[in-house]
Amino acid sequence: MITAQSARDIITAIRLRDEFGFDLIIDGGAEAYSVLEEIKTSGVTVVVHPTKVRNYGDTKHATDTNAYKLHQAGIPFVFQSGFEGYIPKARVVTFEAALAVANGLDYDAAL
């Protein structure tokens, strides 16, 4: 699992996987929507970080439609619940799924 938010880092992670032959899961993928073809061709899964992340630095181009676009492209993905100790994780995952549905993702895909 490689945390890669920017399109450049996602492409680099895929290149490293191809070069060294390890299994890869992209963790984060804030800009995955901009390199869908490369991700789909690679066959990797994306662990989508919560969409309500503070949008700065590597996540400044995060979007509420990322999960929808990944699904439309046929790329397997899951929602990450986050890692703040003070927030109930089940609530975060259901919120992320609901937000994705509100932004075009099919209800069954969100589940």
Q: Which domains does the chain have, with CATH numbers?
A: 2-110 (3.20.20.140)
Burial degree of 74 (CB within 10 A; 0-12, 13-18, 19+): exposed
For range 42-51, the mean pLDDT: 90
Determine which helix (DSSP H) or strand (DSSP E) holds 39, and give its type and residue range: helix 36-42
Question: How far, in Å, CA of 16 to CA of 29, rounded?
Answer: 16
Looking at residue 56, the DSSP 8-state letter turns out to be S
Question: How far, in Å, CA of 73 to CA of 67, rounded?
Answer: 10
Is pLDDT above 70 for 85?
no
Q: pTM of the prediction? A: 0.86
